Structure 1
């Protein structure tokens, strides 16, 4: 079972905006090749760092309201939410090491 949780437009507020720890949100779609490449990277990242930062994913095709509300225009896009606000924005696929560097302040 993956350490990455799936959220929807309906659960985004409770799972992400009201979380008491930082949340890394993966905005993805089934047709996005780089998104699929990132799935195992995010699984491993979540297994190793889940106690400090929660990792969730939201399918942008099935849940269009949330990506629209947060100006997600390209996939994959990763946003870190803390206290209900976006505090970090990352676009594009990357290796786990680079993702850890980008998110070092939350680890």
Structure 2
């Protein structure tokens, strides 16, 4: 399995959901992320990071509250937002970074 660093260094946009099991709004994000994945298929990678199990990842990206969503591309943060984000808004953000067909 690829490491977190390898995954976020992809030229494909990677949406990382920093979440926690005990977090109510995080649970609301699950069906939203599923909807985004269904809409964008293999054009994006979606990762869930449990901040309780991976405190160093949360610390590295200054995640103060959950859920925090960050879009990475080529290892760089392209966009970030905390709280529940509607599927259409997430898709709009991600589409900006999907490479146009060659």
Both structures adopt the same fold (TM-score exceeding 0.5): yes
Contact 1:52 1:106 in 2 (8 A): no
Deviation for aligned residue 1:11? 2.6
Within-5 A mapping of 1:2-81: 11-16=3-8, 18-81=9-72
Any runs of at least 4 consecutive aligned residues in structure 1 with deviations exceeding 3 A, and if so which?
Answer: 101-104
TM-score (norm 1): 0.80
Q: Aligned Cα RMSD in Å?
A: 1.9
Number of residue pairs matched? 98
TM-score (norm 2): 0.84
